[in-house]
Amino acid sequence: MNHLRQQAQEILQANDRGGFTVPTAGLYPFQWLWDAGFTALGWMRFDEQRAWRELETLFQGQWPNGMLPHIVFHRPEASYFPGPERWGTPQASPPTSGITQPPVLASFVRRMLEGARDRALAEEKARALYPKLLAYHRWFKRARDPEDTGLMACYHPWETGADNSPAWDEALAQVPVDPDLPPYTRRDTGHVDPSQRPRQEEYDRYLSLLEVYKRDGYDPLRLYTQCPFRVASLLIDCVLHRANRDLRALSQRFGFGHEAEITGWLSRSAPAIEALWDEQAGLYFNRDLIQNGPIRVGVSASFLPLYAGSSSPQRAERLAQTLRSWAQQVRYLVPSTDPSSPRFEPQRYWRGPVWAVLNRLIAWGLEEYGQTELAERLRQDTLALVRASGFSEYYHPRTGAGLGGGAFSWTAAVFLDWAE
């Protein structure tokens, strides 16, 4: 295992661009929001100073309204599309995208603080990050849940982190392809076999949504009623619920005094997440906010209410049963789509492959509900995939083959954080 730890460290070092870590060279040459969170957990295992720096650099891209964008374009790079010109956001220095991603950061800051060897450094850094985290979470509540429903409106599959998940098929199909869509060349399929990436018709709609944002001046409240793609995503809502619990703990620890405000948010999000439960399916479903109905396809995020901590012990037990039934159909947990779904595609990105980061989040949840055997199974499966196929972006749940980009930062980071 030691040589793999060594290799994982070397991947983070090789992907380090001076204060930020690219997810992988070529395919993703900038800093991504939730990748930065996981990557910081990895850096913590061998260079704490550098770990904190990852997050500080990410926050250089925070918007004045508190939004934290999903990509920060620290310096120009032609190997990725769409870059800053296509996003055309008001944010110039550094330029950024105009949407967010699963807000793992407050939880990871708390975790980094609690696990730090250099306590004084961790106290100083976490205290300094706190106001920025609070501004980000306040933005979520204000911009994405103005009616106080407890669920956040997401405006793009990219925001959910699980871009081409079959959960978004119908909602995305409702997005009209812009008849004046400026021509573009995809870069992703130059780096990765197209059979492992989203389809062209999805990309046309991903890009059409950018034209809507630009026309609407990136006004979040206008998008709240006008955006042709609006979903409540378990990845955003469960991660945010958990992050708010951790933000509240940080507020208390440092004496910032925001506990009542955050408790108010939590009291709305917990029942709203639980209302996504489907008794017959034995899991949670995402929700289409335009059709106003559940999206009935099981995905790996369907287990995340365990990570949020909103499930009852009965529902947690039922989720564990559902996960065991998935395990009968694949060799490695957790496939990103229910393997019995007709939409399951074991090699295509978020339509079937296993992602180490989802395994990590789900396992945290399982542990907290006392499902230690299943949590350990997820850990062992993740380590086995790395041993068999290296540090890939994602893996085939039946063969264990490595898919997507290679020498991948968050996979290396999860390994460093999770291997003994």
- Positions annotated as catalytic residues are 163, 393
What residues from 51 to 90 belong to the interface with ligand 9WN (CB under 6 A)? 70
Among 16, 48, 54, 163, binds ligand 9WN (CB under 6 A): 163
Contact 283, 238 (CB under 8 A): no
- Examine residue 202 and tell whether it contacts ligand 9WN (CB under 6 A): no
Spatial separation of the C-alpha atoms in residues 196 and 224, rounded to whole Å = 32
Which of 311, 314, 334 shows the shortest CA–CA distance to 324?
Answer: 334
Window of 9-17, 32-40, 141-149, 222-230 that interacts with ligand 9WN by CB under 6 A: 32-40
Window of 11-19, 104-112, 158-166, 362-370 that interacts with ligand 9WN by CB under 6 A: 158-166
Residue 382: C-alpha distances to residues 130, 363, 405 (Å): 32, 11, 17
Window of 125-133, 156-164, 211-219, 268-276 that interacts with ligand 9WN by CB under 6 A: 156-164
Among 12, 20, 23, 285, binds ligand 9WN (CB under 6 A): 23
What letter does residue 86 receive in the DSSP assignment?
H
Tell the residue number behind the tokens 């290799």, with chain if given.
7
- Examine residue 229 and tell whether it contacts ligand 9WN (CB under 6 A): no
Cβ neighbors of 335 (< 8 A, separation 6 or more) are 300, 326, 344, 346, 352, 353, 354, 397
Spatial separation of the C-alpha atoms in residues 343 and 297, rounded to whole Å = 9
Cβ-proximal residue to ligand 9WN, closest one: 23
Among 37, 42, 95, 161, binds ligand 9WN (CB under 6 A): 161
Among 20, 28, 303, 344, binds ligand 9WN (CB under 6 A): 28
State the nearest-atom distance from the C-beta of 182 to ligand 9WN, in Å.
18
- The smaller minimum CB distance to ligand 9WN, of residues 72 and 126, is found at 72
Spatial separation of the C-alpha atoms in residues 294 and 171, rounded to whole Å = 11
- The smaller minimum CB distance to ligand 9WN, of residues 48 and 393, is found at 393
Spatial separation of the C-alpha atoms in residues 218 and 10, rounded to whole Å = 39
- The smaller minimum CB distance to ligand 9WN, of residues 13 and 79, is found at 79
- Examine residue 158 and tell whether it contacts ligand 9WN (CB under 6 A): yes
State the nearest-atom distance from the C-beta of 274 to ligand 9WN, in Å.
25
SS3 231: strand
Per-residue mark of binding to ligand 9WN, 246-275 (x: CB under 6 A): ------------------------------
- The smaller minimum CB distance to ligand 9WN, of residues 160 and 310, is found at 160
Which residues does residue 283 pair with via DSSP β-bridges, in sequence order?
Answer: 278
Contact 305, 234 (CB under 8 A): yes
Among 20, 34, 265, 303, binds ligand 9WN (CB under 6 A): 34
- Examine residue 395 and tell whether it contacts ligand 9WN (CB under 6 A): no
Distance of CA 139 to the CA centre of its chain: 18
Reading the block at residue 330, the tokens are 């694949």
User: For the purposes of burial, counting CB atoms within 10 Å of the CB of 224, is it exposed (0-12), middle (13-18) or buried (19 or more)?
Assistant: middle
Pairing type for strands 71-72 and 31-32 reads: antiparallel
Chain residues binding ligand 9WN by CB under 6 A are: 23, 28, 32, 34-35, 70, 158, 161, 163, 188
